């Protein structure tokens, strides 16, 4: 019994230690925002890599989520429900949930693991120490530009993702489900509220912050050479995905209720 | 001038530095010699404030390093060049960006001026035509030389060498040793070389500080050390220290 308590106690204590350190990194990165002009080259490079670099993958996958959502919606609704509802459900589920959350899970793998491996490799090969020794703050040079790129580019990626997903949904609805374009658009118009767009974009911003911050933090904490780099990448995907799903609940509940 | 006054440093239960006292005079080349794990590299990291002592004082040019503010520390670091054991070149940048990195970050030099200074630094370490190469295209010796060119780019007052010849073949190690001496003589840079290479230390140093069990066991000119502490050096070379 004592061993079990100690085991879970250690896990709990580790969680709070890491949570505290992540908050400290966030604070340090926010503090570095005043040097944004100084690190503009790094910020633009990261925006390009994280944003434009992810766009083809995300747009391709979004197309399939749109197709699948439409087919499933059409399957679920009974013949008594008007078909234009397909457009409503596809749009709202893509904008509020599937677009930001599902794509954030994909980005946790592509972007988060990439950041953790890159910074982790720099850490174990003394490149982070080299930065420090050259009078350059590693948080300012490595973490802040990625964080800025994450929170600014992820919402843009999600706009593209939702647009492509809805286009995919329209294609499936009109070619496979017998829904006319007019009905599909009518369905979308009936439920369209700017609030939903904002909720989707706020979610994307928060997820972008989570992925880039956790990737950077776990990369900076890497030890034990190549093994440590692999562990940091894995931990980033697991931790980011977990936090994304937890924050999905928190944001959905909060934003839809009060916003 | 760099001074260590009774510096202690531990990592968890491991006591690495146990009261280091050492003075590095301006313009001299001093080697810190000792077996692996005796705290040589840890000592270097105290100079640039990457590590803070648990006890004791580290002074650089009259400034107490552990008490410096973040900005003061960054200012101090601009005057200290470091050659890391692995050279620590930024692998996402070609050689010319690596060497010009500090110039871009800390000066208002134009791209033309930076390119000129980069070429000058590479010339000093006897490397030509490598500006566009990436670090993974360089040999071990070339990486060290690029690392050294990068350390020199800001015309520092001090250069810290962390195991400069480790992992190099004997011929390249001699070239690097000669380079360290030549740069120190030409540029009058105060140099600290951390090494376990007794031959290198005795050939290039003005003074040697022999580390043993986290303390400075002996310090003096190479011939003085071999005369008075020859037994200790012999035991170190035989792996008994």
Mean pLDDT taken over chain B: 88
Helix (H) or strand (E) holding A21: helix A2-31
Domain for residue B60, yes or no? no
Mean pLDDT taken over chain A: 91
Among A9-13, B143-147, B184-188, name the most confident range. B143-147
Q: Taking the CA of residue B100 as centre, how many other CA atoms within 13 Å lie in the half-sphere pointing to its CB? A: 21
- Give A-chain residues touching B85 at CB under 8 angstroms: 126
Question: Helix, strand, coil: what percent of chain A each, to 5?
Answer: 90, 0, 10
Say what the pLDDT of residue B201 is: 87
SS3 B162: strand
Query: Chain A contact for B54, CB < 8 A?
Result: no
Confidence class for position A120, pLDDT limits 50, 70, 90: very high
Inspect the interface and report whether the beta carbons of B84 and A135 lie closer than 8 Å. no
Please determine, for residue B239, whether its predicted confidence score (pLDDT) is greater than 70.
Answer: no
Say what the pLDDT of residue A149 is: 96
**Long-range contacts from A186-193, C-beta under 8 angstroms, 24+ separation:** A186/A84, A186/A87, A187/A84, A187/A85, A187/A86, A187/A87, A187/A88, A187/A89, A187/A90, A187/A91, A188/A87, A188/A88, A188/A90, A188/A91, A190/A84, A190/A88, A191/A88, A191/A91, A191/A92, A192/A91
Of B74, B85, B90, the CB nearest to A135: B74
What is the per-residue pLDDT across A33-53, written as a single tens digit (0 to 9) for each? 988 888 898 999 999 999 999
Please determine, for residue B190, whether its predicted confidence score (pLDDT) is greater than 80.
Answer: yes
Q: What is the mean pLDDT of residues B201-213?
A: 89
Q: What is the mean pLDDT of residues B94-106?
A: 93
Please determine, for residue B217, whether its predicted confidence score (pLDDT) is greater than 80.
Answer: yes
What is the per-residue pLDDT across A213-242, written as a single tens digit (0 to 9) for each? 999 999 999 988 889 999 999 999 999 999
Among A118-127, B123-132, B167-176, B223-232, name the most confident range. A118-127
**Residue A134: φ, ψ to 5°:** -95, 15
The residues near A93 (Cβ < 8 Å, ≥ 6 apart) are A69, A73
Domain for residue B105, yes or no? yes
Domain for residue B223, yes or no? no
Neighbouring C-beta atoms of residue A145, cutoff 10 Å: 26
Of B74, B80, B86, the CB nearest to A126: B86
Query: Chain A contact for B90, CB < 8 A?
Result: yes
Closest approach of B204 to chain A, Cα-based (Å): 24
Inspect the interface and report whether the beta carbons of A133 and B48 lie closer than 8 Å. yes
Q: Which residues of A11-37 are buried (b: 16+ CB within 10 A; e: fewer)?
A: eeeeeeebeeebeebbeebeebeeeee
Query: Chain A contact for B127, CB < 8 A?
Result: no
- How many CB pairs (< 8 A) connect A and B? 50
Please determine, for residue B56, whether its predicted confidence score (pLDDT) is greater than 60.
Answer: yes
Query: Chain A contact for B91, CB < 8 A?
Result: yes
Closest approach of A128 to chain B, Cα-based (Å): 8
Q: What is the mean pLDDT of residues A135-159?
A: 94
Rounded CA gap, B110 and B131, in Å? 17
Domain for residue B216, yes or no? no
Question: Which range among A64-68, A84-88, A111-115, B36-40 shows the weakest confidence by mean pLDDT?
Answer: B36-40
Tokens coding B112: 């033309």
Of A219, A210, A218, A212, nearest in space to A246 by CA:
A210
**Residue B54: φ, ψ to 5°:** -75, -35
Rounded CA gap, B7 and B9, in Å? 7
Confidence class for position A75, pLDDT limits 50, 70, 90: confident
Domain for residue B110, yes or no? yes
Q: Which residue, among B12, B84, B159, B166, would best test binding to A if mutated, counting the most A CBs under 10 Å from its CB?
A: B84
Say what the pLDDT of residue B79 is: 92
Closest approach of B102 to chain A, Cα-based (Å): 7
Say what the pLDDT of residue B41 is: 87
Please determine, for residue A117, whether its predicted confidence score (pLDDT) is greater than 70.
Answer: yes
Domain for residue B136, yes or no? yes
Tokens coding B75: 């200012």
Q: Looking at chain B, which residue has its C-alpha nearest residue A38? A: B105
Distances in Å between the Cα of B157 and the Cα atoms of A66, A177, B21, B236 are 62, 76, 21, 31
Longest dimension (CA), chain B: 55
B81 beta partners: B159
Of B199, B154, B22, B183, nearest in space to B191 by CA:
B183
Of A55, A197, A59, A125, nearest in space to B135 by CA:
A125
Strands (DSSP E) found in chain B: 2-11, 14-24, 29-33, 55-60, 63-64, 80-83, 158-162, 190-195, 207-212, 215-220
Say what the pLDDT of residue B169 is: 83
Rounded CA gap, B237 and A108, in Å? 51
Q: Which residue, among B105, B136, B157, would best test binding to A if mutated, counting the most A CBs under 10 Å from its CB?
A: B105
Domain for residue B176, yes or no? no
Please determine, for residue A79, whether its predicted confidence score (pLDDT) is greater than 80.
Answer: no
| Domain range enclosing B107 | 94-150
- Give B-chain residues touching A133 at CB under 8 angstroms: 48, 50, 77, 80, 82, 84
Percent of chain A past pLDDT 70, that is, above it, reads 98
Q: What is the mean pLDDT of residues B180-198?
A: 88
Q: Which residue, among A122, A127, A135, A219, would best test binding to B if mutated, counting the most B CBs under 10 Å from its CB?
A: A135
Domain for residue B231, yes or no? no
Please determine, for residue B240, whether its predicted confidence score (pLDDT) is greater than 70.
Answer: no
Question: Which range among A201-215, B35-49, B107-121 shows the weakest confidence by mean pLDDT?
Answer: B35-49
Say what the pLDDT of residue B236 is: 66
Inspect the interface and report whether the beta carbons of A133 and B101 lie closer than 8 Å. no
Inspect the interface and report whether the beta carbons of B90 and A127 lie closer than 8 Å. yes
Please determine, for residue B241, whether its predicted confidence score (pLDDT) is greater than 60.
Answer: no
Please determine, for residue A57, whether its predicted confidence score (pLDDT) is greater than 60.
Answer: yes
Inspect the interface and report whether the beta carbons of B89 and A127 lie closer than 8 Å. yes
Structural domains in chain B (count): 1
Query: Chain A contact for B85, CB < 8 A?
Result: yes
What is the per-residue pLDDT across B2-27, written as a single tens digit (0 to 9) for each? 999 999 999 888 888 899 999 999 98
Question: Which range among A91-100, B51-60, B216-225 shows the weakest confidence by mean pLDDT?
Answer: B216-225
């Amino acid at each position: 019994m004592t061993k079990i308590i100690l085991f879970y106690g250690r896990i709990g204590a580790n969680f709070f230690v890491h949570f505290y350190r992540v908050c400290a990194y966030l604070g340090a990165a926010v503090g570095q925002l005043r040097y944004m002009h100084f690190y503009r080259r790094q910020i633009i490079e990261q925006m390009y890599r994280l944003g434009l670099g992810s766009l083809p993958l995300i747009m391709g996958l979004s197309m399939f989520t749109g197709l699948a959502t439409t087919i499933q919606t059409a399957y679920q609704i009974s013949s008594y429900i008007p078909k234009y509802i397909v457009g409503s459900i596809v749009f709202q589920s893509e904008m509020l949930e599937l677009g930001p959350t599902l794509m954030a899970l994909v980005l946790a793998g592509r972007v988060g693991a990439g950041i953790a491996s890159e910074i982790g490799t720099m850490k174990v090969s003394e490149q982070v120490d080299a930065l420090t020794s050259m009078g350059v703050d590693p948080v300012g040079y490595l973490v802040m530009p990625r964080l800025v790129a994450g929170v600014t580019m992820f919402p843009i990626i999600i706009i593209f993702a939702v647009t492509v997903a809805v286009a995919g949904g329209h294609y499936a609805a009109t070619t496979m489900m017998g829904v006319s374009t007019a009905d599909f658009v009518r369905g979308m118009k009936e439920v369209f509220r700017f609030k939903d767009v904002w909720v989707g974009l706020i979610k994307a911003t928060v997820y972008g912050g989570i992925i880039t911050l956790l990737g950077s933090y776990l990369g900076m904490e890497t030890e034990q050479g190549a093994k440590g780099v692999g562990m940091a990448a894995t931990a980033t995907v697991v931790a980011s995905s977990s936090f994304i799903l937890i924050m999905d609940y928190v944001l959905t509940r909060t934003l839809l209720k009060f916003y | 001038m760099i001074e260590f006054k009774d510096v202690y440093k531990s990592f968890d239960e491991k006591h690495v530095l146990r009261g280091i006292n050492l003075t590095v005079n301006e313009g001299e080349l001093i080697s810190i010699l000792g077996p692996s794990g005796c705290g040589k590299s840890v000592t270097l990291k105290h100079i640039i404030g990457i590590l803070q002592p648990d006890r004791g004082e580290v002074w650089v040019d009259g400034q107490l390093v552990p008490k410096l503010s973040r900005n003061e520390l960054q200012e101090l670091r601009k005057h200290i060049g470091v050659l890391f054991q692995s050279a620590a070149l930024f692998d996402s940048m070609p050689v010319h960006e690596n060497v010009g990195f500090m110039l871009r970050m800390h000066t208002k030099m134009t791209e033309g001026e930076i390119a000129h200074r980069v070429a000058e630094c590479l010339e000093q370490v006897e490397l030509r035509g490598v500006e566009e190469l990436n670090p993974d295209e360089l040999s071990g010796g070339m990486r060290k030389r690029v690392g050294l060119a990068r350390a020199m780019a800001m015309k520092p007052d001090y250069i810290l060498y962390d195991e400069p010849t480790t992992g190099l073949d004997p011929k390249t190690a001699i070239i690097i040793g000669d380079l360290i001496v030549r740069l120190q003589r030409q540029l009058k840079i105060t140099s600290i070389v951390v090494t376990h290479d007794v031959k290198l230390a005795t050939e290039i140093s003005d003074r040697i500080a022999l580390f043993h069990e986290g303390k400075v066991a002996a310090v003096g000119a190479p011939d003085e050390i071999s005369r008075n502490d020859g037994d200790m050096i012999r035991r170190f070379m035989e792996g008994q220290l």
